[in-house]
Amino acid sequence: MRPYAHRRIVLGVTGGIASYKSAWLARLLTKAGADVDVVMTAAAQEFVTAVTFEALTGRPVHTALIAAGHALDHIALARSAHAIVVAPATADFMARAAHGHANDLLSACLLAADAPVLLVPAMNDRMWAHRQTVRNAEHLRELGYHLLEPDSGALAAGEGSGPGRMPEPETIFAHIGRLLDADGLLRGRRVVVTAGGTREPIDPVRFVSNRSSGKMGVAIASAAWRRGADVTLIAGPLSVAPPVGPSIISVETTEAMRNAVAAHLPGADVLVMAAAPADFRPTTVAAQKIKKDSALSEIAVVPTDDILLSTRDRRPAHAIVVGFALETERALAGGRDKLRRKALDLVVVNDATEPGAGFGTDTNRVTFLAGENEPEALPLLDKSEVADAILDRVEGLMRGR
């Protein structure tokens, strides 16, 4: 799984109650294809055993700075790492790291490392707010370390709620991906992605919509953010968890989505229109719920504004614009028409009737249309893989500009 496969991650675990979450993080990284070398401090071993991590990663766990046959482990681990992650990073460990201490294996690894380092603080809210911890965090950032801000939420038993809680493993996993993958052409670029369907109201409780889950658009937004882009996701109602990283603007109607796209186009480098906005809206919206016995026999509708057409004049000249053509017949012809009529750089075509490639699935089978090039058909892939394939083509188009 990009970008984790065949990458070596040093996962440092220090002595906090949140270390139980680190076991699941190790599992996520290993399942994605990474080689995970776990380094535990002595205090960490009071909370979680080394055997747990060895079972999850299939690799030896490192615990000692000075041991027969392991005198240079800190050098070997640091040099082989593509990224070093310390989760949780306690207040004590942050203080030692900020001052360059090397009195255990994990802190020595940091001093020997050239790879990017992500620290994930986790501690009591008062400790996190203390001036010394704040100063240490600032100094660590100045040294080039990446710090993931702690969440607010329930703390250790009896300590209530507040900032200091370690983020969930899935969030940390996503940030590790950004460390590993944010060195391409999308780094620092502004990317706008749309996702999901829209809802056109009939009355206060009913609406016209479609089967879009938003999975494809969310996958694209996640992949673009992972590649280092500044991503804005404009999303209709989603049936999938929102992505980690991108800014999210929630909308309901096609008009609201069009207005949001128009507002965010200036300065955008890439627009990916992966949403499935409703093509029609009722001509009138009832003020009250329409009763079942009202003998309503039809609902008059009118077309909604086409978002790509209506915002065409607002696109920056350099922007790469990608559209989707979801069809049920003559898919390539429909895609070719959209490519030309809406002045797109790339159209992603798929057939909603094909098993595994329609709404709500985790997979998709797409064909790319660009310029006068021959259609490029991909096999059935996970939507995360399709997202990366789309962004690979976007980066190729950027090179040609």
Residues noted as catalytic: 210
Quote the CA–CA distance of 8 and 84 in Å, as a whole number.
9
Quote the CA–CA distance of 96 and 36 in Å, as a whole number.
24
* 171, 206, 246, 259, 281 from 285: Cα distances, Å: 41, 10, 33, 20, 9
187: which residues sit within 8 A by CB, 6+ positions away?
A: 227, 228, 229
Specify the residue for token string 């030692």: 96
Of the candidates 229, 307, 324, the residue with the CA atom closest to the CA atom of residue 272: 324
- Give the distance from CA 104 to its chain's centroid: 34
Tokens linked to 198: 């829209």
Q: How many CA atoms, within 13 angstroms, populate the side-chain half-sphere of residue 332?
A: 10
Of the candidates 79, 42, 84, 47, the residue with the CA atom closest to the CA atom of residue 64: 42
Backbone dihedral angles phi then psi of residue 59, each to the nearest 5 degrees: -130, 155
Quote the CA–CA distance of 357 and 352 in Å, as a whole number.
6
- Give the distance from CA 187 to its chain's centroid: 14
CA angle 207–213–214, rounded 5-degree value:
110
Quote the CA–CA distance of 200 and 256 in Å, as a whole number.
11
